[in-house]
Amino acid sequence: MNEKNKILVDALPQFIEAQSAPEQGRYVFAYTITITNVGAVPAKLLSRHWLITDSNGKIQEVRGDGVIGEQPHIKPGEFFRYTSGAMIETPVGTMQGQYLMHSDDGDDFSATIPKFTLSIPRTLH
């Protein structure tokens, strides 16, 4: 990836206890993603590809157009932030992936979503 097309992705996960049912193997997490264009050319997010892995090694692969029903166009120095969710069967897991981007000057490129951890908060006994 050249400096002309450069996207940084940051994730902030959060356990959603009220929607989770650990006794049924259902752990729900929200995650807020910030996509920042640190390149020189505006770019549009076309699609997403996620790998969601629980601690049993089960992988959910998610592909789709845009994010939360949008295909944001992000200008240099600007960002797009959204919150979505995931459900896994274990208290700990990971998410990672990539966004397919299309720059205003015609280049298609990938923006990496660095791996981040989904985990329930520590409980005191």
What was the pLDDT predicted at 2? 59
CATH number of 7-119: 2.60.40.1470
pTM across the whole model: 0.93
Neighbours of 91 (CB within 10 A): 17
CA 60 to chain centroid: 13
List the single range of 3-7, 63-67, 71-75, 99-103 with lowest mean pLDDT.
3-7
Give the length of the chain: 125
Strand order in the sheet with 27-37: 7-15, 27-37, 79-88
* Mean per-residue pLDDT, 37-58: 98
Strand 43-54 to 73-74 pairing: antiparallel
The 10s digit of each residue's pLDDT in 56-91 is 999 999 999 999 999 999 999 999 999 999 999 999
